[in-house]
């Protein structure tokens, strides 16, 4: 290191005074001696001239402009961004950038964000609405690492009857008429599955988007069957098919029999494929 310092001290003034061709020759010589690349050698020679006398005891640190420039968005905006992210359920930057105005409107309507309180203001809102998806993801990275918001699964794989049920993928042809439903259970448990909490069975028609939700205590076959009975009584059109995941609450003789009695086509997603995408 000391030798490199001496080399830059020796050639810095000559480099500054030399013509273009001379500069190139000096750079070639410095690169050969130090092993630096040409850009770094040039930076060291130029920086050495600007260094105060008596301070040339180490190679000059090349300053990363990204680490020294002022932050574009205020601390308040970054703080409120974390609250909006948490209220959205931990959405990604692309979703937040597209829906920021709607999310803020909803939080203002519910009293979660009040102007001139808790660092929130019209200026902060304008900053949030101008953030790009990449910026949002970058600012949220520490919060995500500290407090990851991830859904807990209360579904247990069911091997019984699995191989006898048709597999349906997300890329398959969309239904041309109402009647084919996606079905799933949701555990309303927050970040932990411990203790008592409500669950729901959700039915969504793939063609119209019509949905039906029924609350249950747990995923026992009796409660799932009850939810299906209430669903079939409320749906405004004929049910032609049911698509579910591979949980044992769905893949069982009781529910397969229920579908068979009503001539409802029964399919399942592929195991370990979130949203069953390609």
- Rounded to 5°, the CA angle 188-194-198 comes to 25
Q: What is the largest CA-CA distance in the chain?
A: 94
Rg over CA atoms, the chain: 31
Count of residues making up the chain = 278
Specify the pTM: 0.42
End-to-end CA distance of the chain: give it in Å, rounded.
54
Q: Under a CB-based contact definition with an 8 Å cutoff, are residues 248 and 158 in contact?
A: yes
How far, in Å, CA of 78 to CA of 124, rounded?
9
Sheet holding 198-205, edge to edge: 166-167, 265-268, 241-244, 180-188, 198-205, 211-216
Query: Encoding tokens for residue 172?
Result: 């398959």
Task: Please report the pLDDT score of residue 74 as a whole number.
Answer: 92
Instruction: Annotate the chain with DSSP letters as a single string.
Output: -HHHHHHHHHHHHHHHHS-HHHHHHHHHHHHHHH---HHHHHHHHHHHHHSPTT--SSPPPPP-HHHHSPPSS-HHHHHHHHHHHHHTTS--HHHHHHHHHHHHHHHHHTTSS-TTBTTB-HHHHHHHHH--HHHHHHHHHHHHHHS---PPP---B--TTGGGSEE--TTSPPPSSS-EEEEEEEEE-TT---S--EEEEEEEETTT--EEEEEESS--HHHHHHHHHHHHHH-SS---EEEE-SBTTTSSHHHHHHHHHTT-EEEEPPTT-GGG--
Task: Please report the pLDDT score of residue 249 as a whole number.
Answer: 80
Task: Please report the pLDDT score of residue 271 as a whole number.
Answer: 46
Per-residue pLDDT in tens (0 to 9) along the chain, 278 residues = 567 778 888 888 888 888 888 888 888 888 888 888 888 888 888 888 776 665 545 555 544 455 556 688 999 999 999 999 888 878 889 999 999 999 999 999 988 899 999 899 999 999 999 999 999 999 999 888 876 555 555 554 444 444 444 444 444 455 678 999 999 988 888 777 777 888 999 999 988 999 999 999 888 888 889 999 999 999 999 998 888 877 778 877 888 888 888 888 888 654 444 544 44
Name the segment(s) of the chain with CATH classification 3.30.420.10: 162-276
Provide CB contacts within 8 A for 20, sequence distance 6+: none
Task: Please report the pLDDT score of residue 166 as a whole number.
Answer: 46
How far, in Å, CA of 201 to CA of 212, rounded?
8
How far, in Å, CA of 275 to CA of 278, rounded?
9
Hey, what CATH class is 162-276 in?
Answer: alpha beta
How far, in Å, CA of 154 to CA of 245, rounded?
12
Phi, psi (rounded to 5 degrees) for 135: -65, -40
């Amino acid at each position: 290191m000391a030798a490199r310092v001496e080399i830059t001290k020796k050639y810095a003034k000559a480099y500054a005074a030399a013509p273009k061709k001379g500069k190139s020759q000096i750079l070639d010589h410095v690169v050969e001696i130090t092993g630096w690349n040409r850009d770094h050698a040039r930076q060291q020679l130029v920086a050495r001239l600007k260094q105060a006398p008596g301070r040339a005891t180490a190679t000059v640190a090349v300053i990363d402009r990204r680490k020294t420039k002022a932050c574009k968005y205020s601390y308040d905006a970054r703080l409120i961004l974390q609250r909006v992210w948490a209220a959205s359920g931990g959405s990604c930057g692309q979703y937040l950038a597209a829906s920021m105005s709607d999310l803020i409107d909803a939080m203002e309507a519910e009293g979660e964000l009040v102007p001139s309180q808790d660092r929130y203001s019209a200026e902060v809102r304008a900053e949030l609405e101008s953030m790009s998806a990449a910026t949002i993801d970058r600012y949220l990275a520490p919060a995500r690492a500290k407090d990851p918001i991830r859904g807990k699964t209360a579904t247990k794989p069911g091997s019984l009857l699995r191989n006898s049920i048709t597999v349906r993928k997300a890329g398959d042809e969309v239904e041309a008429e109402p009647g084919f439903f996606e079905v799933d259970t949701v555990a309303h448990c927050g970040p932990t599955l411990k203790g008592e909490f409500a669950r729901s069975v959700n039915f969504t028609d793939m063609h119209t988007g019509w949905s039906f939700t029924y609350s249950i205590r747990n995923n026992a076959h009796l409660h799932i069957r009850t939810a299906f009975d209430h669903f079939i009584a409320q749906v405004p059109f004929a049910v032609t098919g049911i698509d579910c995941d591979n949980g044992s609450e769905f893949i069982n003789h009781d529910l397969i029999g229920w579908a068979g009695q009503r001539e409802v086509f029964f399919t399942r997603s592929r195991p370990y494929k979130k949203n069953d995408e390609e």
